[in-house]
Amino acid sequence: MSSPAWQYSVYHNIWKVLDAFFPPTCAGCGELGSRWCSNCQTSVKVLDRNICTICGLPQEKEKLCQACAEERPRFRALRAWAAYEGSVRRALHRLKYRKDIGLGETLADAMIPFVRSLNWQPDLILPVPLGKKRLRERGYNQVAVVSRPLAAAMGISFSEQVLFRQKETQSQVGLNRRERIVNMNQAFSSNRPVVGKVVILMDDVATTGSTLSSAAGTLYDAGASEVFALTVARALRLDQS
């Protein structure tokens, strides 16, 4: 499961060479020449202030939000790099639905300074797993293609073999907070111990954090000492995926 940082340099340079021979178009605006142009990257709304101290939900002041005060999630803390809007949303949709897996490395590269600033000191990064049906349909886990290069860049171990979905859940889109929690109840299992490990559990988008909370509970049951949750983006409206 080791991911030394030199592997990221190799991976990053491979994509640079491929892009030189086969120029991509920007996932945010369609401009020719880059996967995600500098203008689209600078438009990103980074969520690094005035957030809930547990779930990271943007609010007027940095304090515990009402939802976390009423029912604390299982993870130690959730942080999202950016708001799920504009060029970030378009990039994630292209990664998720149009099989542009090179965007995984692009997004990971953009997230590195933010993740380092969290000072979490993890032992392991795990992507939230897809159900078997959805994995067969898509052919890949879009979260893994972001979290794998991110782990390599930071010299942290990575694995897709620790956490599994033990039931096929319905889409969370259109469900309210309580329905999302019920939908994800006992959705995950783990067949490998993570005893004493500090884990970053990663997903692409957080809305209420119910998926990440359920998965974090499974990891604590498997012996993790701390579970932090990380996403590329945070949906600011409940009806977004």
pTM of the shown model = 0.89
**Average pLDDT in the 56-69 region?**
92
**Model confidence band, residue 9 (pLDDT cutoffs 50, 70, 90):** confident
> Does residue 1 surpass a pLDDT of 50?
no
pLDDT of residue 21: 87
Fold of 5-234: Rossmann fold (3.40.50)
| Residue pLDDT, tens place only, 141-196 | 999 999 999 999 999 999 999 999 877 665 666 666 666 665 666 778 898 889 99
> DSSP letter string over the chain?
----HHHHHHHHHHHHHHHHHS--B-TTT--BT-SS-HHHHHT--B--SSB-TTT--B-SSSS--HHHHHS--SSSEEEEEEESSHHHHHHHHHHHHS--THHHHHHHHHHHHHHHHT----SEEEEPPPPHHHHHHHSS-TTHHHHHHHHHHHT-EE-SSSEEESS-PPP-TT--HHHHHHHTTT-EEESS--TT-EEEEEEEEESSSHHHHHHHHHHHHTT-SEEEEEEEEE-SSTT--
Domain boundaries, the chain: 5-234
**Average pLDDT in the 107-119 region?**
95
| Residue pLDDT, tens place only, 188-230 | 889 888 999 999 999 999 998 989 999 999 999 899 999 999 9
**Model confidence band, residue 28 (pLDDT cutoffs 50, 70, 90):** very high
